[in-house]
Each structure stands twice: as structure tokens, then as C-alpha cells.
Amino acid sequence: MGCYVLGEIAYLDNSATTKPCKAAIQNINLALENVWGNPSSLYDLGFKAQLLVDDTRKAVANMLHCREDEIYFTGSGTESNNMALLGAAASRKKRGKRIVTTAIEHPSVLETAKRLESDGFEVIFLKPQANGCISAEALKNAINKDTVLVSIMLVNNETGAVQPVKEAAQFIKQSGAPALLHCDGVQAFGKMPINLSELGVDLFTASGHKIHGPKGVGILYLKKSVTIKSLITGGGQEKNMRSGTEAVPTIYGLKGAIDELGNISENLKAQKELWLYAKNALLNTGLISVNSSDDALPYILNISVEGYRSETLLHFLEAQGVYVSSGSACAKGNGSYVLNEMGLSRSRVDSALRISFSRYSTKEDIKQLETALITATQKLRRSN
């Protein structure tokens, strides 16, 4: 039943985190046991540790089609997003006051944007259309000559909706704004082909634990021609962008995860087939409505089981060895602001489940989910 099935367990919450793959674990252990020196040390053990960091940086740059010296390592996707937004805003604050983002960003972007708003910036939070996507026209109209930063995610973490990032780059250029373009690519990295030069972004962020790497390693891409303010000062690591001794084991663990990815385009085709299989199987139960659009990235399928609260269903499914979520893991059980912003009914929002796949997910996992969902709703009906 795939990588995640231990006994009767089907893990379908891969947008929250993924199980570290064997290559990631092997790389982590190698760094911990054999290459544990400080990369800044001027002797052999430090040099060997630096080589592991350099190898990972090269692997990330190859994936994103950018220069190695444009990649910086952080402690998480959240830290990368904070660095990108706060650093970009600080570097451009004398050139304008408008920041454009969306109302469906990850909390690490939304809360940072709100902080910048309290600091005196005018922040525009664009609302999505019913399909979960931001309107290109609304995006274009929001960008003016006073705009210093645009931040828009590539793939929404709750619905899988793919956002118009490339169009944002075009609109910034057309407007003549001094804006930098940031893209939260956490849910897209390793799951769809990404060429940063074609995407047109100045800053791009990602995380290791969404692609079977370890927690504790984030990625920040900063275009070579762009300068932002650094937030963490100290010993000058990561070219003065993020001081602090590099976490070599987690960084090299990311390298292992990248090595095991295989062909991203082929993975995506296979995942689309599984997504359609899951969607049709669950629709055939007569229990659900689908909240993700047909052109969503097929690693996320958001559904609603109206008449049953998400949290209640989660526990019934867990009891049957099936793990899904009610939305972003960072929401900690709160109702989905993403689905609210899409204009879904209260009953749809309160009964929403996010099913998220990895390349190791199987049809058997889907069948187990289908059976568990039918059983859960039957038990709940009898108890009412």
C-alpha cells in the first residue's frame, strides 16, 4: 500500500508534512555521525561539512533553474517567508508604501503582511474567485507605481489552486512599479516543474519536509540582482543573509530527498491519475462535494462532507487508520479562512477535509479512505 502504510494506516496529510525518505535519513545520519564539523571552521572537518551544504545548494539550484549563489538555507518555510517579506519591505520602504498579497496566503505570509500594515504600509489582500484562484485582472488593478512588494503563493496549501504568479511579474513590469515579487512555493516545490527565470520572481521560498526531507530546513531564493535587508545578524553565514551555524544534517537531508524525487513531470502525470481516481471514488459515495478545482495541483483534494463537522470526522477516520486534515496544519483546527474567502457556505466550510497526496500514495490508500468515510458517516448517523 505504499511508503506510508504501516499495518492498516493510510497517511493522506502530506501537505502538512511527509515521512522522510530513506536517502534523507541516510544523509542526516552521515552528517551527524561522520561530518559533524562546523562549516565555518578552517580545517578538514569543517571543509567536509561545507561541501555537504554546497552539494545541497547545487541540487536546489538545479531544480529551480537558478544560480547556486541565489539559494540560501533557513530553518523553515515560515522563516523564509518572514525573511522575504520583512527584508523586501525594509529595503524598498523609501520607494513606496503599497504591498499586494492575497487573502488566502499561508499564515506565515498573512501575519507578516499584517505586521507590515501595522508598521505603516498599505496592504491589499486580494480575495479569490469561486475556484480558489486570484483573478489576474484584480491583481493587475491592485499594482500601481507605489507598490514595493507583491507576494503571491504558487499553489494554495488548502485547495491546490495554482495562482497567477507569472502574470504578476508581467503586471509589475507593465506598471513601472519598483515592486519585488515574492512567491511562496512551499506546496509547489518538488511537485511541479519550476523555472524561476521563466516565473519572473525575485524571491521564492520552499521547505524540505514537504518533499520527504527533514523538518528544520527551509529555502530562500534571492535573485542575484536584488538586495534585501537581512533579519538575523551574527557570524555572517549564508553570505550575511542568515547568520548562525548551518544545520548541516537537515540541509544534507534535503539533498537526499531531492535525489529521490525522480522525474517531477512524470510524477505529476501519475499524481493526476490518482487525484482523479480519488475524486471519482469519493463522489460515487454520494457523501461529498469537491472544493478543489479541476485544474488544481493534483497533490491536494479538498472536499466537504456536509452534515458532519470536520473535527468529528477526523477522529472517526483516525480510529480507522486514515489520516487527513481539516485544512492547513498551521490553523490548528480552526475553520478554513481559505474556503471562507472563496465564498463557500458555512456548512461546506465546517465539514471540509483536505486530502493531500505524495508520490508514494496509492489507490489502496484511497480505497481505505473511502471505506472509512462511509463507516464514519454511518456511525455518526446512528449516534444522532
Adjacency order of strands within the sheet including 300-304? 289-290, 300-304, 352-356
- What is the C-alpha separation between 292 and 277, in angstroms, rounded? 14
Got the DSSP string for 2-56? Answer: -TT-STT-EE-BTTT--PPPHHHHHHHHHHHHT--S-TT-SSHHHHHHHHHHHHH
Pairing of the two strands 300-304 and 352-356: antiparallel
Burial class (CB in 10 A: 0-12, 13-18, 19+), 340: middle
Active site residue 330: yes
Give me the phi and psi of 343, to 5 degrees please.
Answer: 85, 15
Q: Which of 3, 133, 183, 330 is catalytic?
A: 330
**Residue 313: partners with Cβ closer than 8 Å, 6 or more residues away:** 305, 351, 353, 373, 376, 377, 380
Active site residue ranges: 330
